[in-house]
Amino acid sequence: MVNWVKARTEAEIVDVIRAHPTVKLVGSDSCGTWRRPVNASVVLGIESCGVIEHDVEDQVVVVSAGATIAEVQQALRKRGQCIPLGPNVPDALDRLDDWRGSVAGQLSLNLPHSLQAECGSWRDWVLGLTIVRPDGTVCKCGSKAVKSVAGYDVAKLFIGARGTLGVISQVILRTFPIRGLPQPDFNLGSGLWSHAGRIQRTLSTDFEAARIAYGDHLIAFNSKGSTLYISCDVTDQSFRYPGDWQLGWGLGEANLSIEDPTVKRLMERTKTIMDPSRKLNPGEFE
Amino acid sequence: MSSGQGALTAELEKLLGPEAVLSGPAAERAYDCDAYTVDRSKPSAVVLPRSTDQVAAVVRWCNSRNVPYTARGAGTGLSGGALPALGGVVISTKRLNRILEIDVANQCLLAQSGAVNRKLSEVVRPYGLHFAPDPSSQTVSTLGGNIAENAGGPHTLKYGVTVQHILGVTMVEPSGEIIQLGGRVPGGPGYDFVGLVVGGEGTLGVVTEAWVKLVPIPSAVMTALVSFSTVRQATQSVADIIATGTIPAALELMDRGILNAVSQAFKINYAPGTEALLLIECDSDHSHEAMSRVEAEMAEVREVCERNGAIDIRIAADDAERAQLWTARKKGVGAMGRIAPSIVTHDGVIPRSKLPEMLDFVYQVAKEHQVGVANLFHAGDGNLHPCFYFDDRDPAQVHAVVEAGERIIRRCIELGGSVTGEHGIGVEKIDLMSLMFSIEDLRLQADAKRVFNDGDLCNPCKVLPNQKSCVEHKKRWRGTAW
């Protein structure tokens, strides 16, 4: 039987990390369907400590890792600002205010979203992170400066890293004015939302052909981002295009597959350097 | 030339052909520094490869002989990034200058790393596209150099820095292997290695090609030059403009020091009583309503500036006048040569809200150290460039400039900013990294570096302090010296 632990503070995160040989990091546990199976001696959830600091004039916000997207957006909206994150699942269009995914969890997954083409993504919004490393030491990367080239931009490695390199305890983000925010470009296809499926992103020149080819298997699409949501009954190798990529939900091991051998090698090397004992989320990428 | 150096050169000539290898006193002098001229170190040889394979061959050769190597684009870097700190081989990308593929439909382009920044925009202009990063050096700086330093420029405020426009790279790893990271389709699962390499200051490998994102040329642009009788009014206007929710394409501030130089150099006059200028540009590419959007934004900007006491507002009527309004910004630093034999341009970042107090501090420091100062800012980002002007033949003035520069950069950190907004760490600010980052923070950065570079041959002595065999930085002055 696996222990479940919730940590609220950085010190509590450190205690859990140091006390266990393997840790499954779930954040708010709102996005388990997108992940690969992870077996660990403890499951660590991160509770919200909300927004820590909001510099309205400088358009910078510091949030606890467990702060939900909804919490952060509500706090920012009071001052006419936001994180320009669009919905990334069809039923999220109606519940943006209830988005219970945590900031750290969302940036760790870095799923495509429906404002990405116009407003960028987490790699463009994250200015800095506080990280608890697998050995329990706490360190920072980046800063509150909206523009900085001081040293290596290590924060970039943690975005989309699915919690495999360190536990994020605090996030520094740049904010954006709500005014002028475009409407999310998220359209429903003729397919039904399914418990399992895939996101596929293509070149824009291949997008229309893909959209038509998928027919009734197409659940939703984002034209500006050339992103399609496909039901799971399409086999993995159908309708693939040069340079495209896929990731899945509800497919367990098949949710994610790193196909490029160079990227696989470098990811293995990164993991070995950053988490030599393979403590964090073992199996998330393997 | 020593016999060892002669043997090294001969081997490289055998590898690449004699026409691709430079050595001797002239080459040493030309390549012993970049635009950060206070530190110099002679290379043993300079190579000019024409292909990724040739770069890889050089890197593997260097590995086999334990010879350090440093990549170099145009040499316009401002922190010593292209300084061959431990000698060895300089790998010039001068002949890696081709545009390889233009994909208009997908709005991207593949170029070799020695291609000049401005040229990327020029070749796609007929398609209504451009490469957005526009550092001041863009007429000569190379794509590879821009990638190494994650270059910015005046239009960073709206369009972002270089990393936001790089889709993928071909790079020769320090192991000598050629790898491709990223590609034309952005995002994708896995670790963001492209994001780590951009801004890696050439210490993670040698980038030889890159897929870059292109963006539409704005279909509507309005440019305003606004005069204020106090610097405070200008900085307050910056804060108020940002607070409206408008994101101008550019928001630059210049003070009286820059204006004096520009007036002398180019015979341009500004409204009487002007102590500070704001250069503000608004643009839009939403084709059918672009102009009305831009006009609305500019009207809002104008209202803010008038509310803060603007004494003159000039809006460019056409492209020619726009170019003229940009003169103070683009030529301001160069024009400083009119008023003093030497200048040093610094680079730091502070939160926008701290602009007024930081400028006050800069003037105070200059006064206390009895040096002249002129200020040029990417005000929208809080990225300042104080320019100290002095006579470097006077050791007392040199000392004063060193001390003043240190105080400015330390103040940036105290105010929650950064030691560098766009020039990079290089060798210039390597001993300031510990002011901004703890030992554990730096260990994290060192571990990230090890993903690609676990040795000490690839552009050594840059970015991270305490690297072995690296001599102590000669503390003459920070910033670019002219």
Asked if B181's CB is within 8 angstroms of A160's CB, the reply is no
Phi and psi torsions of B215, nearest 5°? -125, 155
B200 contacts A152? CB cut-off 8 A:
yes
**Residue B228 CB-half CA count within 13 A:** 24
In this structure, is the dihedral angle defined by the CA atoms of residues B209, B215, B219 and B222, taken in order, positive or negative? negative
Q: How confident is the model at residue B341 (pLDDT cuts 50, 70, 90)?
A: confident
* Residue A59 DSSP symbol: T
Model pLDDT for residues B321-335, shown as the tens digit of each residue: 999 888 878 878 778
DSSP symbol at B474 = -
Using CB atoms and an 8 Å cut-off, which of residues 25-84 of chain A contact chain B? Answer: 55-60, 80
* Whether the Cβ atoms of residue B117 and residue B138 lie closer than 8 Å to each other: yes
Q: How far apart are CA B401 and CA B341, in angstroms?
A: 14
Residues in B touching A55 (Cβ below 8 Å)? 351, 353
pTM: 0.96
Positive/negative CA dihedral, B186, A125, B111, A263: negative
- Helical ranges in B74-153 per DSSP H: 117-124, 143-149
Residues B66-108: tens digit of each pLDDT: 999 999 999 999 999 999 999 999 999 999 999 999 999 999 9
Tally C-beta pairs within 8 A across A and B: 200
B107: which 2 tokens?
């709005």
Tell me what pLDDT residue A246 has.
93
What is the Cα–Cα distance from A153 to A150, expressed in whole angstroms? 8
What are the φ/ψ torsions at residue B480 (nearest 5 degrees)?
A: -85, 130
Mean pLDDT on B2-14: 87
Q: What is the DSSP string of B288-319?
A: TTHHHHHHHHHHHHHHHHHHTT-SEEEE-SSH
List of residues 6+ apart from B395 with CB closer than 8 A: none
Distance from CA of B269 to the nearest CA of A (A): 32
Same fold: B99-216 with B220-414: no
CA distance A88 to A111: 7
What are the CB-based long-range contacts (under 8 Å, 24+) for A72-77?
A: A72/A103, A73/A97, A73/A99, A75/A50, A75/A51, A76/A175, A77/A178
CA atoms within a 13 Å half-sphere pointing along the CA-CB vector of B405? 27
In this prediction the ipTM stands at 0.96
Residue in A138, A152, A174 to test binding to B, most B beta-carbons within 10 Å? A152
* Interchain CB contact of B200 with A (< 8 Å): yes
**What pLDDT is stored for residue B479 in this prediction?**
55
Domain boundaries, chain B: 99-216, 220-414
From the list A56, A146, A203, the residue facing B381 with the nearest CB is A146
Q: What is the DSSP letter of A280?
A: B
- Residues, chain B: 482
Contacts with B311 (C-beta within 8 Å, 6 or more apart), sequence order: B227, B228, B229, B271, B273, B274
- Could you tell me the pLDDT band of residue B471, with boundaries at 50, 70 and 90? low
Q: Do A112 and B187 touch (CB under 8 A)?
A: yes
**DSSP conformation class of B35:** S
CA distances in angstroms from B401 to B201, B298, B410, B431, B480, listed in the order given: 26, 39, 14, 18, 12
B339 close to B387: Cβ distance less than 8 angstroms: no
Q: How would you classify the pairing of strands A187-188 and A167-174?
A: unpaired
Between CA B482 and CA A251 the distance in angstroms is 61
Query: Do residues B476 and B38 lie in contact, with contact meaning Cβ atoms separated by under 8 Å?
Result: yes
Measure CB to CB from residue A274 to each of B164, B244, B447 and give the nearest one: B447
Substitution target in A147, A224, A257 with the highest count of B β-carbons within 10 Å is: A147
* Binary contact (B351, A80; C-beta < 8 A): no
Distance, in Å, from the CA atom of A119 to the CA atom of A83, rounded to the nearest integer, reads 9
B43, B25 in Cβ contact below 8 A? no
Closest-CA distance of chain B to residue A1, Å: 30
- Tell me the pLDDT band of B480, cut-offs 50, 70 and 90: low
Query: Digits of tens for pLDDT over chain A (286 positions)?
Result: 779 999 999 999 999 999 999 999 997 777 788 999 999 999 999 999 999 999 998 999 999 999 999 999 999 999 999 999 988 776 555 555 567 789 999 999 999 999 999 999 999 999 999 999 999 999 999 999 999 999 999 999 999 999 999 999 999 999 999 988 888 888 999 998 888 999 999 999 999 999 999 999 999 999 999 999 999 887 767 789 999 999 999 999 999 989 899 999 999 999 999 999 999 999 998 7
Rounded distance between C-alpha atoms, residue A9 and residue B69, angstroms: 45
CATH tag for B220-414 (out of 3.40.605.10, 3.90.550.10, 3.40.462.10, 3.50.7.10): 3.40.462.10
Q: Inter-chain contact B383–A112, Cβ cutoff 8 Å?
A: no
Helices B231-243, B290-307: axis angle to 10 degrees equals 140
Q: Is B198 on the interface with A (CB under 8 A)?
A: yes
The phi, psi pair for B317, rounded to 5°, reads -85, -25
Contacts of A270 in chain B (CB under 8 A): 191, 451
Which uninterrupted H or E stretch holds A220?
A: strand A218-222
* Span B344-387, pLDDT tens digits: 888 999 998 898 899 999 999 999 999 999 998 899 999 999 99
Between positions 227 and 246 of B, the ones with CB within 8 A of A are 239, 242-246
Of B193, B421, B445, the CB nearest to A151: B445
SS3 (DSSP) at A114: coil
Cβ contact (<8 Å) for B440 and A137?
yes
Q: Nearest 5°: phi and psi at B86?
A: -110, 25
Q: pLDDT at position A146, please?
A: 93
Find the mean pLDDT for residues B137-152. Answer: 96
CATH class of B99-216: alpha beta
State both tokens at B247.
Answer: 């994101």
Residues 155 through 184 of chain B touching chain A, CB cutoff 8 Å: 156, 160-161, 163-164, 179-181, 183-184
Distance from CA of A124 to the nearest CA of B (A): 7
Supply A129's token pair.
């992170």
Digit-coded pLDDT (tens) for B412-462 = 999 999 999 999 999 989 989 999 999 999 999 999 999 999 999 999 999
The model's confidence at residue B482, banded by pLDDT at 50, 70 and 90, is very low
Contact between residue A256 and residue A285 where contact means Cβ atoms under 8 Å apart: yes
- Note which residues in 85-124 of chain A have CB less than 8 A from chain B: 110, 112, 116, 120-121, 123-124
Contact (Cβ atoms closer than 8 angstroms) between residue B444 and residue A154: yes
Residue of B181, B185, B352 lying closest to A245 (CB–CB): B185
Contact B318, B450 (CB under 8 A): no
Question: How far is residue A91 from each of residues A101, A194, A219, A270, B260, measured CA to CA in Å?
Answer: 14, 11, 11, 36, 60
Sole residue written with tokens 């400028």: B359
pLDDT for B351 equals 92
